[in-house]
């Protein structure tokens, strides 16, 4: 799992400089003064964009065929063939080759559809592995469905398909791990990373540079800042706006990212012209938008381009219905499985603290700022709520905790009644954790972009929680993770978070 990017430093390509305003900066150096980019960077660009992705496609194709051939051997030649209840006649290997080839074609097409072969993923091992798991899972369902709809000769064995799924994952992981081991060597890694310069120096530029340097496998390498009038002198200034063309050529820059856009229209157009002449990609940090940047889309109103936020995936009707169906099924299963554990825990709570209730209800703020009652198994002494009005979260080794309460919190067992909240629709299995009204009002004033976390239903577990941001940890970081989840929601992300909930317990108390 990858950590969420710095929210204010997310990059978007700028297709129209006409949105900028302001003036007063010096004129950009004439673009005709630039020279053509050196052959070395051009060659590296071809390696990044064409040669290595092509090798990956070829390697994945060969390895996928080998994996399905292994699955064939397991199904028909190995001792595991005895597991099959029905044998497939005429299932010799030569007859199965067309079926294996069809499976490989589906698999590679699925990987390509998921953008597995983009150059930005060349150094991103774990992101690539996540896409391989996702693509292979989709392939499993599609291949089984195809086998049911179309009558192949010989027929596709139902046991062969899951064996192929496991074989593909194992073989692909082994081959890709070896491939990445070669690419991350310092000599190769530096050639594959695009050289980045920042235009202007401000908080967004500093956040971007910190993000690039925090991840060695990032596809970008920071080379320096090109200063604008009014900038504080950055530690790695490599040029000014007056010498833009020469600076880009001299430092062999691949990408120029504008952290400031307070230039006049004419000046921005001339910057774009310099980038075009030197084959430098032009991007801009949209500092007018501080959150929900994955929802930014370039639209047209008549003939005019407009950059704005569209509907997020988590709020689209089909996705909302899908997420709700998963919540209903998951909460019903969770309640059935949790009932025996809750009954036993209720007895232990009553034994240790006879005077208080078993369940503890507390007012929380949900989606669209609607209040609801969140239910938990009581883990503290009966009068703990009266002492808790000003606390953001329970302190480590809180003296108000019951002995059984400390155990329940350590393993999140006090949260089991929230399956009922999910079933009733006030919560989801996955989402930002809900806060009390007092804290919502206070944090809305103290933490930037706090309120948009209420665009989604609160969850029993969340991206912040599986990354250890619970209890007495940074609220600002927690909010960043919540916003990242809302921006990047997918059913696959929900599945990952649910699985990680069972293995990540950091700061649970």
Give the angle 61-62-65 at the CA atoms, nearest 5°. Answer: 85
Residues pairing with 377 in the sheet: 359
Which has the higher per-residue pLDDT, 455 or 190? 455
The three-state secondary structure class of 425 is coil
Using one digit for the tens of pLDDT, what is the confidence trace for 369-408? 899 999 999 988 887 666 655 555 566 667 788 889 889 9
302 phi-psi bin (left φ>0, alpha ψ -120 to 50, beta other): left
| 252: Cβ contacts below 8 Å, ≥ 6 apart | 37, 38, 40, 41, 195
CA distance 202 to 225: 11
| 334: Cβ contacts below 8 Å, ≥ 6 apart | 416, 419, 422
CA distance 284 to 78: 57
Contact 377, 408 (CB under 8 A): yes
Using one digit for the tens of pLDDT, what is the confidence trace for 185-200? 777 777 777 888 999 8
Using one digit for the tens of pLDDT, what is the confidence trace for 315-346? 888 899 999 999 999 999 999 999 999 999 99
The three-state secondary structure class of 197 is strand
Which has the higher per-residue pLDDT, 217 or 475? 475
What sign for the dihedral angle of Cα 84, 86, 91, 97?
Answer: negative
* pLDDT exceeds cutoff 90 at 429: yes
CA distance 365 to 426: 10
pTM for this prediction: 0.60
Domains of the chain: 7-25+193-310 (3.40.50.720), 47-183 (no CATH), 315-501 (no CATH)
Two tokens, residue 286 = 């949209």
CA distance from start to end of the chain = 23
CA distance 453 to 450: 6
């Amino acid at each position: 799992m990858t950590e969420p990017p710095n929210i204010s430093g997310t990059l978007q390509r700028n297709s129209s400089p006409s949105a900028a305003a302001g003036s007063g900066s010096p004129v950009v150096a004439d673009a005709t003064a630039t020279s053509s980019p050196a052959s070395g960077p051009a060659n590296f660009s071809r390696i990044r964009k064409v040669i290595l992705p092509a090798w990956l496609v070829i390697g994945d194709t060969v390895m996928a065929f080998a994996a399905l051939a292994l699955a064939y051997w397991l199904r028909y030649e190995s001792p595991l063939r005895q597991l099959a209840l029905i044998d497939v006649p005429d299932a010799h290997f030569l007859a199965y080759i067309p079926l294996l080839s069809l499976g490989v074609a589906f698999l590679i097409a699925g990987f390509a559809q998921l953008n597995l072969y983009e150059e930005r993923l060349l150094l991103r091992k774990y992101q690539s592995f996540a896409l391989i798991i996702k693509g292979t899972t989709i392939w499993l369902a599609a291949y089984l469905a195809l086998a049911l709809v179309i009558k192949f000769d010989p027929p596709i064995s139902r046991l062969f398909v899951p064996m192929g799924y496991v074989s593909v994952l194992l073989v692909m992981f082994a081959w890709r791990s070896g491939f990445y081991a070669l690419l991350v060597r310092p000599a190769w890694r530096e050639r594959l990373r695009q050289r980045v310069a920042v235009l202007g120096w401000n908080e967004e530029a500093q956040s971007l540079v910190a993000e690039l340097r925090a991840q060695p496998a990032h596809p970008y390498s920071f080379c320096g800042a090109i200063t604008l009038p009014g900038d504080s002198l950055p530690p790695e200034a490599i040029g000014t706006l007056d010498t833009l063309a020469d600076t880009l050529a001299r430092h062999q820059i691949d990408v120029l990212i504008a952290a400031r856009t307070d230039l006049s229209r004419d000046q921005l157009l001339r910057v774009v012209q310099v980038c075009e002449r030197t084959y430098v990609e032009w991007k801009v940090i949209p500092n007018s938008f501080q959150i929900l940047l994955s929802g930014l889309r370039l639209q047209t109103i008549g003939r005019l381009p407009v950059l704005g936020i569209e509907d997020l995936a988590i709020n689209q009707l089909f996705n909302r219905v899908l997420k709700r169906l998963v919540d209903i099924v998951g909460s019903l299963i969770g309640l059935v499985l949790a009932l025996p554990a809750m009954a036993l825990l209720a007895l232990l709570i009553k034994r240790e603290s006879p005077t208080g209730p078993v369940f503890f209800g507390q007012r929380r703020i949900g989606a669209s700022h609607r209040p609801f009652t969140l239910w938990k198994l009581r883990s503290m002494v009966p009068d703990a709520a009266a002492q808790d009005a000003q606390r953001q979260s329970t302190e480590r080794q809180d003296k108000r905790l019951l002995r059984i309460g400390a155990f329940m919190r350590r393993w999140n067992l006090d949260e089991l009644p929230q399956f009922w909240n999910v079933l009733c629709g006030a919560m989801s299995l996955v989402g930002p954790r809900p806060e009390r009204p007092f804290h919502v009002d206070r944090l809305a004033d103290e933490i930037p972009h706090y309120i948009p976390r209420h665009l989604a239903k609160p969850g029993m577990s969340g991206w912040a929680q599986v990354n250890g941001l619970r209890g007495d940890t940074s609220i600002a970081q927690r909010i960043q993770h919540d916003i990242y989840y809302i921006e990047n929601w997918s059913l696959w992300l929900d599945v990952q978070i649910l699985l990680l909930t069972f293995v990540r317990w950091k700061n649970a108390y």
